[in-house]
Amino acid sequence: MKVILGLAIVALHVVGYTWLVDQSGGNDLVVELRDPMGIDGTASSDRVFVVTDTRPGLQRRRWTATYRGGFVREVGATQLVGPFQDPRAPACSGRIIVGQRMLDEMAPVLKDIVERQLRGSDIFPVGAFRELRSLALRWADGYVRADANVTFERANVVLVVRLIPEPSKTELKFRIAAVANLKFTNAVLRWLSDKLNANSIATRVASDQIDDILVTTLAPPPPFELPGGQTLQFAYCDAPLEIIDGAYAALPFSVTIGTHTILPPRFGLHARPTPAATTKLALDLDPDALNALLFELWRTGWLDRKLAEVGLDRRFNSDPTVTDYLSIRITPLRLALPPVISPNHDGSLRLAADARLAIHDGTRTTNGRIFGALEFRFSPAPGPQLPVSVDLGALELACERSPTTLVPCYGDLVAALRGRGDEFHGALTDAFAKLLADVFVERHVSTPTLPAEVVIQSVVPSITSAGTLHLELDGKLAPVM
């Protein structure tokens, strides 16, 4: 969210510098909107050229007038267009991926857990537990296969356990199907074992801890709590668990959103690429998932509260240059619509935002509309730094004579600030990298009954051709201390 704050800082500088200029006499271009939150409107001159961005999400319309000498004035308006997401039927817009590498690393921890649980047990007719010689986990064709070799007092048990997923809209469970091969040295005991149900022994050895660990690892991300009591929620959704033999398992999930007169846009689901063989743990967040998250932060007022806490207006109003040379003061920014992320054709992501503020000059108050966009690009790059680049893609300012009457506000100065985008590149990139680290790194995923937890150590983002944000998470399974 600090990226949005950076965008707001740029916008505030626009307001400050533009007010240093004379109050722009001769606002020949005037746009009358039919709806204050829409883009349908008429301009005051027939010389106006109109361009509309027709992408879903924050759709932008610009009225541009060219005057003698090549002087250009422009007014823009923004509206949120659908199709929209349905809070009553959230889409499966994300997925968690657990690679075979993660299962390989889980097996030794799981072996220790099961061995501790079996210690001291005595099972007829195999006798007292001696040791768990080996335990291996593998993604099989549609299920999880666990192979174990268990030594008891009077027999060696070669155990094959199939954990068959049974997902639903509310939870994920695994049904245990176990087969045991009991090797007795005594003929009488071999005869007795044939009369007993060897599967009961196998099922007892196949502890529920295996099921618990798999469910915890494959569950949707845990609720992400933000300062101020705001929580982002994720949930199971009505889609099958995908398991590829020896490679990975992927569980789709949804982002929980609340009801509102405004809803986040829906771009729809796209084919996701096959995870790399090196993937241990990863998250895929489609544009719909990203926009649902932004919508929730906007709907609950968290974004506006964060802007107010940072105090961009106070910083501007108390700046020595402003207090010494300007009579204007500004109010905090307020996001009029939820920010929207959309995929670009070049494989990057675009974050657009539309905000409002008031500009006070003595007894005179003018309301301003700020529109801005950030461009996110990802590229594979080794090293400790995240391979992400964030640039200022758009910055526009319009003034309101009334909620439906818009006039230009110092387009030349705004254009000059857009040309200084390189100055904001480093700050915006660092802010996004820190945001990802704050959200994911050192996160602990566990349940109260599980003696182990998944710890996220690092995150590396990338973007697919369909606009899905792919986050490679370097995680490990560790015992709870």
What would the mean pLDDT of 37-56 be, rounded to a whole number?
86
Q: Which residue has the higher pLDDT, 206 or 135?
A: 135
CB of 52 closer than 8 Å to CB of 390: no
Two structure tokens written together for 79? 């509206």
Residue 20's pLDDT is: 37
Q: How confident is the model at residue 15 (pLDDT cuts 50, 70, 90)?
A: very low
Residue 58's pLDDT is: 93
Residue 271's pLDDT is: 74
* CA dist., res. 269 & res. 252, Å (int): 12
What are the tens digits of pLDDT across the range 73-130? Answer: 889 999 999 899 999 888 899 999 999 998 998 888 888 878 887 888 887 777 888 9
Residue 382's pLDDT is: 45
DSSP labels, 422-481: HHHHHHHHHHHHHHHHHHHTT-EE--TT-SEEEEEEEEEEEE-TT--EEEEEEEEEEE--
* CA dist., res. 443 & res. 14, Å (int): 38
Residue 249's pLDDT is: 94
Asked if residue 389 has pLDDT above 90, the reply is: no
* CA dist., res. 67 & res. 317, Å (int): 35
What are the tens digits of pLDDT across the range 335-369? Answer: 999 999 888 877 788 888 999 988 788 888 889 89
Q: Which of 37-41, 182-186, 410-414 has the lowest mean pLDDT?
A: 410-414
**What percent of the chain shows pLDDT beyond 70?**
74
**What percent of the chain shows pLDDT beyond 90?**
21
Residue 54's pLDDT is: 80
What would the mean pLDDT of 220-231 be, rounded to a whole number?
76
Provide the angle, in degrees to the nearest 10, between the axes of the packed helices 100-118 and 208-218. 150
Q: How confident is the model at residue 451 (pLDDT cuts 50, 70, 90)?
A: low
* CA dist., res. 241 & res. 101, Å (int): 18
Residue 189's pLDDT is: 60
Residue 227's pLDDT is: 65
Residue 478's pLDDT is: 64
Q: How confident is the model at residue 302 (pLDDT cuts 50, 70, 90)?
A: confident
Q: How confident is the model at residue 59 (pLDDT cuts 50, 70, 90)?
A: very high
Residue 38's pLDDT is: 93
What would the mean pLDDT of 320-329 be, rounded to a whole number?
75
Residue 18's pLDDT is: 44
3-state helix, strand, coil in the chain (%, to 5): 25, 40, 35
- Angle CA 82–88–89, to nearest 5: 75
What would the mean pLDDT of 276-293 be, rounded to a whole number?
90
Q: Which residue has the higher pLDDT, 218 or 369?
A: 369
Q: Which residue has the higher pLDDT, 432 or 317?
A: 317
Asked if residue 134 has pLDDT above 60, the reply is: yes
Residue 469's pLDDT is: 85
Residue 14's pLDDT is: 45
Q: How confident is the model at residue 479 (pLDDT cuts 50, 70, 90)?
A: low
Asked if residue 152 has pLDDT above 50, the reply is: yes
pLDDT averaged over every residue in the chain: 78
What would the mean pLDDT of 63-68 be, rounded to a whole number?
86
Q: Which of 24-28, 46-50, 268-272, 287-291 has the lowest mean pLDDT?
A: 24-28
What are the tens digits of pLDDT across the range 362-388? Answer: 888 889 898 988 888 876 554 445 567
